Amino acid sequence: MKSTGRSLSARQVTLMILGYGIGGGILTLPSSAAAIFGASGWLAVFLIGLIYVGIAWVAGRLAEKFPEETIIEYSPRLLGKVIGLLFNLAFIAHLFLVLPVNIRILQELANISLLPGAPTWFVSGTYLLALAYGASREVDQIAQVNELLIEIAIFVGLFVALAALQHFEPIHLLPVFSKDQLHLDQLEQLLGLTFAFGSLPVVNMVIPYIRNPHQTTEATVKASFFIALIYTFFTVITMGVFGYKEAIDLSWVALELAKSVNFRAVILQRLDLVLIVSWISALYTTGLISFFLVGLALAQLVRVRNKAYIIWALVPFTYYLSASLKNYFIWTKWSVYVALLALVMNFFFYPLLYLLSLWKGKRHG
Amino acid sequence: MVRLVQTSSWRKKGLFGSLLLALVLTTAGCWQGRELNARAFVTAVAFDRPTAEDADPDEFLLSVQIPIPVKMGAEGGEGGGGGGEHPFVVFGTTAKMVRIGIRQLQRQIDRELFFGHTQLILINAEVAKTIGVDRLLDYFKRDFRVQRMAKIAIIDGVAREILNLQPPISQTPSAYLENLLSPQSGSALNYITDFGRFLVEHSEDGTEPVLPRLSMDGKTVQTGGAAVIKGGKFTGWLNNFETRSLNILLNQKISSNYVVTCPLHPGESIVVGVDGLSARHRLKESHGRTVYQISVRGKFETVEFSERHGPMDVFQDELEKVVSATVKAELEQTIRRAQELGADILGVGRHLQAFRPELWRRMKDDWGREFAAFPIEVEVRMEWAMTVRRFGG
């Protein structure tokens, strides 16, 4: 990839990482955190977020080492052809598998509040077409759409969280890591918890489009820190309002938070609907960026010039997968697999690739 | 060449525009949408014992209140063709499960019963004691449409009678009852809570939920008092003043009036208006044991005197002591009542869990009995704000 179309600012990259990371995961994150860590789930979310900030630094530095190429292009050189190819396939798979979960979450949210009884072919189908249409555009257009939508979603989400402060009780956040509340044996839940944090692939795919590649690490670390802060803030408010036991029992804990708040003013009387409508934007940015990255990565892997062909070709398969995630339990299990794959990428391959790039750089130097 | 590119671009835009237009035209309405006149909005629900003598003890009488929109337009329900009749109807049926009861009711009503606007859930005390609140509320906490802000109350009497009540001041009956149960009623003698808060308190270890009491007094409904729920079932009542004290202990930001004896003129009474109350809860070690200490601070004003004198500087200290002692005595009575019932409505267990987890681990399995004997101290300091309009009698 040559640096012909360097149009993204550092701010847009930060927002793209936020846009990819903040989506459906945050709606269920406090519940998973409470199930594993009890009342100190909020602290666990913050600590996990900080670990991801560290990994974000590695991902950013790795991207800066190859400012002209995506990870798909340089990984075979670092890992060797066969392992590089396998890595690329796993990398693309982990980006792609986000899509069915993302579509399924939208389907459930639409059925819960907006269009009860609306069939999958209509809700998921329309949404998937909108995703494919958006993802087949150029990266600068995607960055602009993301910039607008994710800011609206975060603003509304923070408004709901702040409005819920009236029910906040600090005692719900204690005790810190009490052993009778810790359930670290719930491995699936623990993996699912990390699902919401896996937004680093963005930077290793869009680096050739960044105007000032040397700002990449800073933008990535900043985005990861924002994600950690937003998740922690949201989990603190949710657990402070509901307590950890009630939070465990709620499937869409963020929606329940919105249902707990009421303003006697026309549209704000149903804050849950306001949240859902705006959160569809956040879901869309996740799906949009994910689909774009899948199209871009596959196009580079199979050397197709126009990624749009690949994106549209993937639509039926994506629809089939999303339709096979028939209920809450199935898609949460699926998100665990995605999280597992993302964990391997983030904590094994990124550091490995970075070390290999340092080693090879030194050898050639 | 340029022209060809432009044509292709316009064709793409046209295609996208047509697609967008088709979507807008087909998705602007609701999927499986129902017209408003095809829905029966349930504003209040009541649970009672079935009227039949030989009724199954597991059964309850489920009643729903549905407003008649055409009769709700004018005062007293007389406008819009109301002709002085109630602007609502109440339907009832007997069932063992709520959803089955709703299905039964649906057989009498030609519109779909819709619980998204339900503001009140009223439960007869006997039903709350025998069947339990848990089973009655299970359907409502699973239905996405039910709001967490709906009010719940335990009824000392027949809950269905309250649904049939016509409010004395023009408004919808459920709005009237909802206002009575909210802080705006201003009596401070009813416990302020809602469905969401009840669920939170009920789910927590180391605290038991409380629900407000409603009772019928002739043809009017009265608030005051509260029902203690333990293990999901009604356990006992708190009287009006115990409920007021519970509101203070739980920092419900109430203001209320107390009658105290004049420190200078025994036999004379002064009414004081108490406000700005705050309670601070903490655990402390005293003589080798853990004590739960509640410190209450607040301000008061003298608002009425029984004899011909007004506020005087000379009895400031004495009056502050008298008011503090009166408030303290009432708070202690509430704590005694909670310990008698073995129901931790103060959240002592929750504090132990948060700040003394080791101690909590030892006590939690038998917390009801441990709480009954747990040392709780109350300390009250009330200050006279002394905003005086008139000194003399």
- For chain A, what percent of residues have pLDDT higher than 70? 97
Joined tokens for residue B257: 């009036």
pLDDT band at B183 (very low <50, low <70, confident <90, very high): confident
**Spatial CB neighbours of B44, under 8 Å, sequence gap ≥ 6:** B64, B65, B118, B119, B120, B121, B122, B163, B173, B174, B177
The burial class, CB within 10 Å (0-12 / 13-18 / 19+), for A117 is: exposed
Q: At what angle do helices A187-194 and A25-37 cross, to 10 degrees?
A: 140
Mutate to test the interface with B, among A114, A115, A128 (most CBs of B within 10 A): A115
- The one-letter code for the residue type at A327 is N
Tens-place pLDDT, residues B250-260: 999 889 999 99
Looking at residue B4, its pLDDT comes to: 44
Count of C-beta atoms within a 10 Å radius of residue B24 = 9
- The minimum CA-CA distance between B287 and chain A, rounded to whole Å, is 25
Phi/psi of residue B34, nearest 5 degrees: -120, 140
Q: When comparing pLDDT for A55 and A114, which is higher?
A: A55
Per-residue pLDDT reduced to its tens digit, A302-357 = 999 999 999 999 999 999 999 999 888 998 888 899 999 999 999 999 999 999 99
Phi, psi of B381 (to 5 degrees): -135, 110
Per-residue pLDDT band for B74 (boundaries 50, 70, 90) equals: low
Q: Above 90 in pLDDT, residue B197?
A: yes
CA distances from B296 to A172, B253, B260 (A): 21, 12, 18
Q: What distance in Å separates residue A115's CA from the closest CA in chain B? A: 5
Q: What is the 8-class DSSP label of residue B283?
A: E
| pTM, two decimal places | 0.90
B82: confidence class by pLDDT, cuts 50, 70, 90: very low
How much is the pLDDT for B8?
Answer: 60
3-state class of B271 per DSSP? strand
**Is the predicted pLDDT of residue B84 greater than 70, yes or no?**
no
Taking the C-alpha atoms of residue A80 and residue A77, their distance in angstroms, rounded to an integer, is 6
d(CA A3, CA B118): 60
Q: Which structure tokens are listed for A176?
A: 């810190």
With contacts defined as CB-CB under 8 Å, which chain A residues touch B203? 242-243, 245-246, 249
Tokens found for residue A341: 């794959």
- The reported pLDDT for the residue numbered B55 is 85
Q: What six digits make up the tokens of B354?
A: 């948060």
ipTM of the complex: 0.89
**HEC secondary structure over A160-216:** HHHHHHHHCCHHHHCCCCCHHHCCCCCHHHHHHHHHHHCCCHHHHHHHHHECCHHHH
Contact B239, B327 (CB under 8 A): no
pLDDT band, residue B79 (cuts 50/70/90):
very low
CA terminus-to-terminus distance, chain B: 101
Q: Give B307→chain A minimum CA distance, Å.
A: 43
Residues 6+ apart with CB under 8 A from A297: A70, A72, A88, A91, A92, A95, A205
Query: Cα separation of A190 and A192, whole Å?
Result: 5
Q: Look at residues B237, B211, B214, B209 and name the one whose alpha carbon lies nearest to residue B224.
A: B214
DSSP A238-280: HHHHHHHHHHHH-SSHHHHHHHT---SSGGGGGHHHHHHHHHH
Q: Which residues pair with B382 in a beta bridge?
A: B298
Range with the lowest mean pLDDT among A140-149, A264-273, B26-35? B26-35
Contact B16 A133 (CB under 8 A): yes
pLDDT at position A272 is: 81
Instruction: State whether residue B353 sits within 8 Å of chain A by CB.
Output: yes
Nearest to B174 by CA among B50, B80, B89: B89
Which helix (H) or strand (E) element contains residue B382? strand B376-384
Copy the structure tokens of residue A278.
């705006």
For chain B, what is the mean pLDDT?
88
Rounded Cα distance, B281 and B303, in Å = 30
Interface check B354 vs A, CB under 8 A? yes
Interface with A, mutate which of B31, B112, B134, B292 (most A CBs under 10 A): B31
Binary contact (A115, B31; C-beta < 8 A): yes
- With vertex at residue B255, the alpha carbon angle to CA B175 and CA A268, rounded to the nearest 5 degrees, is 40
With cut-offs at 50, 70 and 90, classify the pLDDT of residue A361.
confident
| Å between B65 CA and nearest CA of chain A | 22
Closest residue in chain B to residue A126, using alpha carbons only: B23
Nearest to A243 among B16, B148, B204 (CB): B204
| Chain pair A-B, CB pairs under 8 angstroms | 58
pLDDT (average), residues B203-227: 92
Contact A171 B354 (CB under 8 A): yes
Edge-to-edge order in the sheet of strand B289-305? B256-261, B269-286, B289-305, B376-384
pLDDT tens-digit readout, B301-312: 999 998 878 888
| CB contact B197 to A (< 8 Å) | yes
**pLDDT over 90 percentage in chain B:** 64
* Predicted confidence (pLDDT) at residue B23 exceeds the cutoff of 70: no
pLDDT tens for A170-181 read 999 999 998 889
Contact between chains at A249 and B30 (C-beta distance less than 8 A): no
What is the C-alpha separation between B168 and B180, in angstroms, rounded?
12
pLDDT of B2 > 60? The answer is no
**Token pair 């200290």 in the structure block, residue:** B317
Provide CB contacts within 8 A for A149, sequence distance 6+: A19, A281, A282, A284, A285
Q: Name the phi and psi angles at B23, rounded to 5.
A: -65, -45
- What is the spatial distance between Cα B238 and Cα B224, in angstroms, rounded to a whole number? 9
pLDDT value at B391 more than 50: yes
Asked whether the beta carbons of residue A126 and residue B23 sit closer than 8 angstroms, the reply is yes
pLDDT at B78: 42
* pLDDT-wise least confident of A145-159, B309-323, B324-338: B309-323
Cα separation, A200 vs A206, whole angstroms: 11
Provide the pLDDT confidence category of residue A15 given band limits of 50, 70 and 90: very high
Write down the pLDDT at residue B387. 82
DSSP label of B190: B
What dihedral angle (degrees, nearest 10) is formed by the CA atoms of B86, B92, B98, B100? -130
Q: ω into residue B69 within 30 of 0, thus cis?
A: no
Residue B6 has pLDDT above 60, yes or no: no
- Tell whether the model's pLDDT for residue A91 goes beyond 90: yes
